[in-house]
Structures are given as structure tokens and as C-alpha cells.
Amino acid sequence: MGIQLIDREHSDTTLRATRTTNEPLAASSRSIGEGRIHDLDQLGISGMSLVSAHLSKDNLSGARDILITALRSRLWAIFSQFPENMISVSNVSMRYGAKVLFDEVSTGFTPGKRYGLTGPNGSGKSTFMKLLTGELDPQKGTVVHPKKLGVLSQDQFAFDRYRVIDTVIMGNKRLWAALEEREKIYAKPEMTDADGMKLGELEGIVGEEDGYTAESDAAILLQGLDIPDHVHERIMGELQGGEKVRVLLAQALFGHPQALLLDEPTNHLDLDSIHWLQGFLNKYEGVLIVISHDRHFLNKICTHIADIDYETIITYTGTYDDMVVAKTQIRSQIEGQNAQREKKIAQLNEFIARFSAGTRSSQVQSRRKEVERLQVTELARSNIQRPFLKFEQKRPSGKHILELESVSKSYGDAKVVRDFTASVIRGEKIALMGRNGAGKTTLVNALLANSPTVPEAELRKTSGYEGEFLSGGKVIWGHEASVGYFAQDHKALIQPGMTVFEWLHQWDMSASHEEIRGLLGQMLFPRDDAEKRTDVLSGGEAARLIFCKLMLQKPNVLVLDEPTNHLDLESINALNIALQRYQGTALLVTHDEDLIDEVATRIWHFEGTHQITDFKGAYAEYQAVLA
């Protein structure tokens, strides 16, 4: 039996084997089956496995266990030969109670590669990221990472007393420690010889870490992420949540880290900032691992996808879309092989039953061995769940659904929307685009304030604004308009102190219990979750419950303000398909480029001049005009 290292960059728990015959091996990979081996190359999927073991027909059964044991014992020795700035994971396991997130995972992340870490909500992506950063210790196994990590902080309040520019520089811990210590020495009324020696040492560190250009380097990052110069000297505690996230992203990118670990870096970024970030990351030469629910972003930056599923992590070469194709091929081909094996086993068992008591004992024994060899691959269950969204209308609206006449909105002397006039026809799907703070949600509130079906109290809750939503102009809704609203702060609309079932049922008391439970099931609420208290819903659960409400009410106009913020990739894909099939009118505020590209038939782009460009055409056509 020969063992051959295939590709270190794709190290994972998947093992592959080829037999000396042309027949595919009748076993699954550890990633899909339970501790067995499968030849993924024969399925047409290359570059996914760590090891190729060439086994003869006679020694297959005994060699399998020996091979797996030997490989596990050698994985750490293999990883120790990798560059010191790679991230390596050896035999790592994590579980919470009875739920296994991943079991004995061994994999590596190498410099120059950009990895997307994917999997549905609850699969363990953030947990795995915390293992890589050292924030969590694995229950079993070992994680080794470079000394200099860039990590996107999830604590928005940790730096509230620091200047924005200083918060960014803190991303280089060695530099920041040297700058602070140098400042303390300079603050002394008199310096000793020891202080002078120490200052020399500290100045060396500052020079090594590019400390003399630190503020200008930090300013460049902040400008790319749309944090203007006048904000750089402000205190972090004065900033809004979206601004803080962008500053913390600049912090993670600062100081030339050997590895970048970014959990949802595109949250609260507008499209211009996302495009800037894509360009930055595509030039990055270290190890990049990113969690994102933005398919377009993953496709633009990733060279590999590390997918958490089947209680393990499988690394695929290519973009997110490439991974989906490869993953589907693997499973469908294994299922096809299983069907062939089951048919062959049935034929062999029929022979054994007919002749076991006769004179053909040697042939019967041979058939029994063949049955053992052809055991069907046991497919582990995927943890991916796909919601089902379908937006319908109780009745269609009139043809002219919405008129805007010289609509304007100001906050004091600050103009946000200036003299916007437009006419919306039934069935149009309009994407509202522009920089953060450009006025997209402000316009949405102005439209909804005069809508026939969205109570003003809802707008007050979600916006926290007590003034007039419209400073000038008119908003006129057409005949039979029925508006369904998904607010950016949608959780504020879910009344506490109720069960999920009670909250949803109140919006249509004529709906049967079966219909309510059916809608909840479509959006992945298990039957017991119908009795879950609304007070304890996560952001993703709250979003799915709002979608249940919209499907129950069946409006002919949908107004969705950042609907993807708390959704995983499967749910965003379901929303995309549902909006494409929706026969009503939709106004959509989102920074998800695939959603805009595949759904929108018209673009309202909010310019820096407080005016809105009304482009009647798809996003690709709009981009072509700008090019």
C-alpha cells in the first residue's frame, strides 16, 4: 500500500483511495460517510483530498483502518512543514451538548489563498473562526496560527473612549504597545539612562512596524471604507453602529497582518465600500479566511471555499458557485452508485437464497464476499436547510401604483432628498442604491408615511424619529395598493410577551392553525418553535418571522429595507427567487449585488448632491451606462 501526498493546500478530513481495478471504490469519504474512504477523483472532482492510497482488492478491508490511523498520526508532522504564516488545524472537534459541529477536522489554510468559510446559520462558522483566532480553545485537537493576525472585532463598544484613528492603529498590537510605552517615557519630567536605552529599542519597533506613517496609512484605509477625514479625530463612542463596524474593519486590515480573519465584513457596508474591500482583499498576499452571506462578494474574492457540513470541513477549489456545483456532483454521484450497488446486492442475495443449501457452496461463499465488498455508502445527513419563500397577492393593484411629485426631505438645514419626481408602474422592481447615509431609508419612510396599510406607529418604532417624514412634495398611492413592509430594524416590530404562533396569527385571525404552522415550517421554524417566546428570537429568526407575516398578508407592494442582514446564503437565495417570481411591485434597499442584478428592473441611485438618478433598466444596463 503506497501513501501519496496530493495537495497540502486542500488538507481536510476527506481521504481518497483508488483501486487497481477500474471499478469505483464502494465507500464514502469521511466528509460524507462515516469514517470510510471514497475516490473523489473518479467522481470528476479534483484537488479536494489530502491523501491518495493505492489499495489492492485483497487488502482493502484491513488496510482502511490502518490507513486512517496512520494518516491522523502523521497530519501534525505534515502541517509542521508548512510556512510559519499558515494556519493549521489538527484533529479538532467541537460539540455543544448532543450537537456535533465538527469532528476530528484536520485542515490547513495557506498564504496567497483566499478562503470563504461557508455553512448555514448554526453550523459553527463563527465558532470555528474563534478557534482560529485563539478566542476559543478546541475541546480536542490543536490549532496553530501566525503571530500577527488581523481579526474583525465583534465588540462595537470596546474602543468607545479612543480616537477613530487610534482604534485603527491598534490593529497592529506590537506597534500600539510601543507607541504607548514611548508616550509614557516622553511624559516623564526627567529621563534616566535606562529610559534612553528603552526609547532606542521602542523607536526600532516603531520603525520596523511602519509607525512613522501609521496615521496616514490608517487614514487611507478609513477613506476607502467611506469614513471621511473629519471623523478620524472623533471618539469612537460618538459614532453610529455602521460607522463603528467600518472602523473596526479598517483596524483588522491595518499593519500588514500575516493572516486576515473576517466575520461578516460586508455588514453595514454600501456597494462602493464593498467594491473597495474586494479590490483590497484580492491584492492581499497572506492567509485570508472570510465568513460572508454575500454570494457575489464570495465569488469575487475567493480562491477556495471551506464548507462546514456533514460534521466536518471540506475545502473546495474555486468560488462559492464552483463549490455548490462540486458538492452537488459528489452527493448525486454517490447516490447513483448506491442505487447500482443496491441492485447488484439484491441480485447476489437472490442467488445466495436459492443455492445456499445446494451443491454450489463455493459460488455462494464467493457471492457473500461480494455482498460484503459492495456495501452501500452511508451518506451522512447535511445540516443545510432551505426555506421556501413565495410572495403572493390577495388582489392586484391598479396599473399606476405610486406617484412621487417633487418629494423632498431635510433634517433641519441638512438636505437629504431633493425634489424627486417619479411614477411607478405595477410589477416594477426598484432597487434603491447609494452610499450609507445618502437617504435611502429616509425616502422609504416618506413613501410609507402616506401608505394605506403601514401604520405610522410602525414607522415611529423602526425609525425612532418623531418629526415629519416628508418636508415637501406629494406621495400618492394608487388604486387597491396594499403595502407589506420589512424594516431595517424589523425586530422592533415584533411584540414581546407572545409566542411565535400568537404573533403571526394576529395578522390574519381567519387563517387556520394548519396554515400558520405551515408558514412557520416553510421558514424553518420546527414545530416546537411555534411556542417559542418572541422575546428570545435571534436576528435571523425575527427576519424569517417577518417574512412569514408578508406571506400571510399577501400584499401587492413589497417594501424591503436591508432584508438580507440576518439571513444565511440559502435564505438569501430563496428570497432572490421569490422576488423574481413575485407578480407585484417591489422597492428594495440592499447592498447585495446578486439580489440587485437578478431582481431589479429599475434603479434609483442616491447621489452625493441629494438628488436621485432614476434609471429605467436592469443593474447590468446601468453599469454599462456608467462605464
Map out the domains of the chain as residue ranges. Answer: 127-319, 400-626
Give the separation between CA 612 and CA 608, rounded to whole angstroms.
9
Strands (E), 339-428: 400-411, 414-425
CA distances for 53 relative to 1, 28, 612, angstroms:
7, 14, 62
CA distances for 277 relative to 36, 45, 185, angstroms:
41, 31, 38
Kindly state the cell numbers that stand for 160.
468607545
Q: What amino acid is encoded at 180 in this protein?
A: E
* pLDDT band for position 60 (cuts 50, 70, 90): very low
Instruction: Tell me the pairing of strands 557-561 and 483-486.
Output: parallel
Taking Cα atoms as reference points, which of 325, 326, 262 lies closest to residue 294? 262
Higher pLDDT, 85 or 349: 349
Name the percent of the chain lying above pLDDT 70.
84
pLDDT digits (tens, 9 = 90+) for 322-331: 999 988 887 7
Kindly state the cell numbers that stand for 78.
505534515
What CATH architecture does domain 127-319 belong to? Answer: 3-Layer(aba) Sandwich (3.40)
Give the 3-state secondary structure of residue 618. coil
What pLDDT was estimated at residue 378? Answer: 59
pLDDT digits (tens, 9 = 90+) for 268-284: 788 888 898 898 899 99
CA distances for 489 relative to 61, 540, 562, angstroms:
57, 12, 9
pLDDT digits (tens, 9 = 90+) for 596-613: 999 999 999 999 889 999
Q: Which residues of 155-167 are buried (b: 16+ CB within 10 A; e: fewer)?
A: ebeebeebebbbb
pLDDT digits (tens, 9 = 90+) for 309-321: 877 888 999 999 9
What pLDDT was estimated at residue 84? Answer: 65
Mean confidence (pLDDT) of the chain: 83
Count of other CB atoms within 10 angstroms of residue 611: 15
Q: Which strand (E) or helix (H) includes residue 251?
A: helix 241-253
Give the separation between CA 223 and CA 231, rounded to whole angstroms.
10
Give the separation between CA 243 and CA 109, rounded to whole angstroms.
30
Asked if 249 contacts 262 with a C-beta cutoff of 8 angstroms, the reply is yes
Q: Given a cut of 80, is residue 490 above it in pLDDT? A: yes
Give the separation between CA 165 and CA 151, rounded to whole angstroms.
17
Q: CB-side exposure of 529: number of CA atoms within 13 Å?
A: 20
Kindly state the cell numbers that stand for 162.
479612543
Q: Given a cut of 60, is residue 343 above it in pLDDT? A: yes
* pLDDT band for position 49 (cuts 50, 70, 90): very low
What pLDDT was estimated at residue 47? Answer: 34
111-125, 443-457, 548-562 — most confident range = 548-562
CB proximity list for 315: less than 8 A, separation 6 or greater = 9, 10, 11, 12, 48, 107, 115, 304, 305, 306, 307
Q: Given a cut of 90, is residue 372 above it in pLDDT? A: no
* Phi, psi (rounded to 5 degrees) for 61: -65, -40
Fold match flag (127-319 vs 400-626): yes
Domain 400-626 classification at class level: alpha beta
